[in-house]
Structure 1
Amino acid sequence: MGETLSVRSRGVDDVERVWRRFVPSARIERVDPRTVSFSWTSVELAHFSVVSYELTASVHSSVRMSDQLMACRMIADDVRIESEGRAIDPRRPWMTSDAGADAQWTNSARVRAFVFDRSDAERVARIASGDDRLVLRRIDPHARDRDAATQWERSFAHVSSSLASVHEDDILATELQRHALLTTLSTFSTAYVEAVERARQRSSAPRTVRRAVAHIEAHAHEPLTLEDIAAAAGISGRGLQHAFRRTLDMTPMEYVRRVRLTAAHDELRAGTAVSVSDVARRWGFSSASRFARYHREHYGQNPAQVARMF
């Protein structure tokens, strides 16, 4: 059963207190108390919150989220948003990563946000994608395109207005939560989008490619050659190259690299790695600098940044 909250205040302490109830890592780094005007409305479910607020003040705020996911849209004349040292376009929805984000504005900002419990979101995403090993991660903070951004805005309007009236109906509230999550994960470049695309490719791929993919994913931690993969798939090396190009638009060894890169990234996120170079070697990357370049190209951040987060 959901809980609604409405707050109106001119106190600085109220702003951070309310925000941290929903996002414990939220911080108001700097605010001018003379100009504060705060209006907040939210609906909170067990693993999901819908938040709308307006804050008039000169503000510098931050969030550092490891056990939550947040998708957000900020409307302000002078807002500046950064994540991992990278500017975020405030004209479209954006999504946090483990590294979090910082936002600054000097007048008034209206904010709309979905906040998800990461572990529950991962459970739902695994079921929806069919990948029971999926680890949710955001690859790029921006909406994938204008249509996706528009769809997220519509989803927020629908979910927030619907939950206001049905938040005590567990069945309807759960369906709205699922809709909000899957729309959000599809709006941005996320591991969920990759998992869905892999499932689509597999279902439409020739049997030989599916066999090769299964062999690669089962043996990515072992030495693999094109000949090994081709033998497992029951096709010649040249035939396998052609089938992968036609079906997946990459070579078999490029697919091996992508699988290993994902595994290395997940190991860094788990926080158990001794060093980035050890992880790189364990997953078949002989050059730490080349591994770092591949990681930056795919995830938009250095592997060392990921390791430091955890």
Structure 2
Amino acid sequence: MGELLTLASREVGDVESTWRRFVPSAALQRVDPRTFAFSWTSAAMPGFSVVKYRLNASVQSAIEPDGQLMACRVASRGGWVGTPRGDLNAGLPWLSLDDPTSARWHTRADVRAFVFDRALAEEEARRLAGDDRFALRAATTRPAPVDRDLAAHWERVFQHVAGSSFVPGAATPLIEVELRRHALHATLAAFSPAFGAALERSSQRRAAPRSVRRAIAYMEQHAHEPITVDDVAVASGISSRGLQYAFRRALDQTPTEYLRRERLAGAHAELQQAMPVSVSEVARRWGFASASRFAKHYREAYGRSPRQTLRGE
């Protein structure tokens, strides 16, 4: 389970000490303590953290992640964000990888961030891109978003991931894996033109029925575990991109859709047992962080709601 942390304070030192639990290089360089107030919420998972806080005060801060990849948005009127290479658009999210990044604002800021372990993020990025040579560095990423649409998508993904992570007991290990992958995909798409280009290339142009069969068998056996499509691809001896192509050609659906179908089937079987459980509990156990999305997919698959199945209707 992810470690949830909530904090409200009027002590200036609490901001820096709390941030350093997630980004050790975080530093507050100037703070006006007269109107200072601080509220923090975060969820720490293996190799990944989600951070959201509000800080009332005039502040200048700086970070220089070491062994980390951090995507952040500082929402504040009249705010400024910059790196040694130049100023960034303070109205958009930004990425910190190798260069130090500074920010300042007056009165109040709402800060939200994804923080990834760099080595694990790079390994997962290679699987997502189907490119074993892909590396997280200045040549493949940029501090500013590729475009505003992808920046807006990153914002929406953050709201979804934060909303799913900040509910006590909601983020099961299975859900945590999916949330981390979803957050990393959105971050790389927003800040890495090279990652986007890699997704456009197919590392395998021919369908691989044997690999598809292996993938199906693996998903059927492990759907109840926190596996991702990347794990399925590794087990099938094919790149993630190649597996996508093979599934499209052989089954006219994506591996993600097939894995979701298997998890729905597991949830369906559990609901049919009519044991004293809640629908939301079953949904979380099978990897669905949102009960409403679970109900939508369930109705599409079975023509009735999860509650109807639970009641034997």
Q: Say yes or no: TM over 0.5.
A: yes
Q: Distance in 2 between matches of 1:149 and 1:137?
A: 20
| 1:270 matched residue in structure 2 | none
Structure 2 distance, partners of 1:189, 1:136, is 9
1:100 Cα deviation from its structure 2 partner: 2.1
1:152–1:187 Cα contact (<8 Å) kept: yes
CA displacement, residues 74-127 of structure 1 (integer Å, 9 cap, x when unaligned):
111121110124111011111112112000112110011111110110111111
Per the normalisation by structure 1, the TM-score is 0.62
Task: Say whether the 8 Å CA contact 2:146–2:193 is kept in structure 1.
Answer: no
Cα distance per residue 1:215-265 (max 9 Å; x no partner): xxxxxxxxxxxxxxxxxxxxxxxxxxxxxxxxxxxxxxxxxxxxxxxxxxx
Match of 1:172 in 2: 175
Q: In the alignment, what sits opposite 1:125?
A: 125
How far apart, in 1, do the equivalents of 2:43 and 2:126 lie?
A: 25
CA distance in 2, matches of 1:118, 1:77: 31
Partners of 2:27 and 2:49 lie apart in 1 by 18
- C-alpha contact (below 8 Å) 1:135/1:191 kept by paired residues: no
1:163 deviates by: 1.6
1:184 matched residue in structure 2: 187
> Given the alignment of the two structures, is residue 157 of structure 1 paired with residue 172 of structure 2, yes or no?
no
Distance 1:126 1:17 in 2: 33
Rounded to whole Å, the distance in 2 between the matches of 1:193 and 1:25 is 29
Which aligned pairs between 1:119-268 and structure 2 lie closer than 5 A?
119-138=119-138, 139-165=141-167, 167-197=170-200, 199-200=201-202
Secondary structure of 2:151's partner? helix
**Secondary structure of the residue that 1:52 maps to in structure 2?**
strand
Q: TM-score, normalised by structure 2?
A: 0.61
What pairs up with 1:1-310 in 2 under 5 angstroms? Answer: 1-138=1-138, 139-165=141-167, 167-197=170-200, 199-200=201-202
Q: Are the counterparts in 2 of residues 78 and 107 from structure 1 also a CA contact under 8 Å?
A: no
Give the whole-Å Cα distance in 1 for the aligned partners of 2:83 and 2:193: 16
The CA distance in 1 between the partners of 2:63 and 2:182, in whole Å, is 24
Q: CA deviation at 1:133?
A: 2.6
SS at match of 2:178: helix
Q: Is the 8 A contact 2:164 2:171 kept in 1?
A: no
Q: What 5-or-longer segments of structure 2 have no aligned partner?
A: 206-313
What is the identity, as a one-letter code, of the residue corresponding to 1:130?
Answer: G
The SS at the match of 1:23 is coil
- Structure-2 separation of matches of 1:191 and 1:10: 43
| Unaligned segments of structure 1, at least 5 residues | 205-310
- Whole-Å Cα distance in 2 between the matches of residues 174 and 47 of structure 1? 10
Whole-angstrom CA distance in 2 between matches of 1:186 and 1:168: 24
Quick one: distance in 2 between partners of 1:105 and 1:44?
A: 26
Cα deviation, residue 31, structure 1:
1.1
Residues in 2 aligned to 1:173 and 1:82: alpha-carbon distance in whole angstroms: 32
Distance in 1 separating the partners of 2:193 and 2:24: 23
Give distance in 2, aligned partners of 1:185 and 1:48: 14
Q: Which amino acid aligns with 1:151?
A: H
Q: Is the 8 A contact 1:136 1:191 kept in 2?
A: no
Taking every aligned residue pair, what percent have the same amino acid on both sides?
47
The AA in structure 2 aligned to 1:125 is: A
Output the amino acid matched with 1:156: F
SS for the counterpart of 2:21 is helix
Distance between the aligned counterparts of 1:151 and 1:58, measured in 2? 29
The CA deviation string for residues 144-168 of structure 1, in whole angstroms up to 9 with x for no partner, is: 1121111111101111111223554
Give me the whole-angstrom Cα distance separating, in 1, the residues matched to 2:164 and 2:88: 29
The one-character-per-residue Cα deviations of 1:22-43 (angstroms, maximum 9, x if unpaired) are: 1111111111222211010111
Q: When you count helix as a share of all residues, which structure comes out higher? A: 1
Contact 1:72–1:111 at 8 Å: present in 2 too?
Answer: yes
